[in-house]
Amino acid sequence: MYLRKEAVLSSQIEGTQSTLAELLEYENTESPGGPLDDVREVSRYVQALHAGLDRIRDRMPISLRLIREMHQVLMDGAPRGGQGDPGEFRRSQNWIGGRSPSTARFVPPPPHELMPALGALEAFIHDPTVAPIQKAGLVHAQFETLHPFLDGNGRVGRLLIPVLLYAHGALKQPLLYLSLYFRQHRDEYYEALQRVRSDGDWEGWISFYLNGVLHTATQATATTRALLALFTSDRERVLGGGRGAMSALRVYEYLRQRVVITAPRAVTALSLTHPTVMTAIRRLESLGIARQTSIGNYGRQYTYTRQLAILNGDEITDATPPRPAA
């Protein structure tokens, strides 16, 4: 679920309007409440990260090939995917802001200089003298500067941070996502990147990035603690329900894993009868754990509302650490 939250936030930076609830509805019912193209774009972000992690688990090092594969998953089937050449580095000039390179805010390297620069970036990724946490920040900044794809550069660049930390053993699970921090400090983020390009201010970028790591790690810890407390409390309440408690617990655990469920899918996933599942869902509703979030009786879906609120940050109040001096 934390991965899906990151997918939503990273895609929102690029202009999508999808929410976490809409993504979960799409995954569990294939009928999102928001724009379908936006939700599919967010879903592809999740798939791209999984694809990268799977390749690393198969002992494939982080490489230009891995980056291209992640980009292909991200862009394949996208409405603008044909223009973005999924899985292919650009062979034409691109730029950021403005109508042409002459009026652009920033112009990345021309195509004939791109592959040598990417080769140098790949070599740096495997430099053992740089600590992983700093390396991830430096790689992100340089990747965004090279802008090697026609589209999707921002999302791939943000994906590289947790993927690199996971590959280097700095994280046991890829649970450090900076998209929320980058979005909350959007102007400062873009300015820090631009100062690297115009003034070589790597120290300023690293200071901004490491503050983001501190903030994000603290927030992730607070979210984890809140979720564990919620799961422990609700599990005990479900088990205290007397007859039928074990079936209700199985449905509760399925709800906990999915956040949004439908009865037919729970029946299939848990090999329970429809009456048993509905009895369990009604018990979860009576306990205030599940709530019907669809309109009408057809295709009813049920949401673990407090879990969703915690994932959205609505119930986290102690996740902001003091900001250290630069």
Architecture of domain 223-311: Orthogonal Bundle (1.10)
Percent of the chain with pLDDT over 70: 90
CA 244, chain centre distance (Å): 37
Q: Is the pLDDT confidence value at 320 over 60?
A: no
Q: Where are the beta strands (DSSP E) in 92-162?
A: none
pLDDT of residue 11: 85
CATH 1.10.10.10 residue spans of the chain: 223-311
- Confidence band of 297 (pLDDT split at 50, 70, 90): low
Copy the structure tokens of residue 62.
Answer: 């982080």
CB 151 within 8 A of CB 84: yes
- Confidence band of 225 (pLDDT split at 50, 70, 90): very high
Sheet holding 290-292, edge to edge: 260-262, 301-304, 290-292
Note the pLDDT tens digit of each residue in 115-170. 999 999 999 999 999 999 999 999 999 999 999 999 999 999 999 999 999 999 99
Contacts of 19 (CB under 8 A, 6+ apart): 8, 34
* 3 state SS of 93: coil
pTM reported for the whole predicted model: 0.85
Task: Report the C-alpha gap between 147 and 90 in whole angstroms.
Answer: 9
CB-count burial class (<10 Å; 0-12, 13-18, 19+) for 21: buried
Percent of the chain with pLDDT over 90: 70
Query: Rounded to 5 degrees, what are φ and ψ at 201?
Result: -85, 70
CATH 1.10.3290.10 residue spans of the chain: 2-200
CA 256, chain centre distance (Å): 19
Note the pLDDT tens digit of each residue in 10-39. 888 887 778 888 888 888 776 655 567 788
Which range has the worst mean pLDDT, 132-136, 208-212, 256-260, 320-324? 320-324
* CATH number of the domain located at residue range(s) 2-200 in this protein: 1.10.3290.10
Note the pLDDT tens digit of each residue in 252-296. 999 999 999 999 999 999 999 999 999 999 999 999 999 998 766
Rg (CA), the chain: 22
CB 110 within 8 A of CB 86: no
Copy the structure tokens of residue 36.
Answer: 């379908």
Amino acid 240 reads G
Q: Is the pLDDT confidence value at 80 over 70?
A: no
Amino acid 239 reads L
Please state the rounded mean pLDDT for residues 236-247.
88
Note the pLDDT tens digit of each residue in 35-61. 677 888 888 999 999 999 999 999 999
pLDDT of residue 83: 61
pLDDT of residue 202: 97
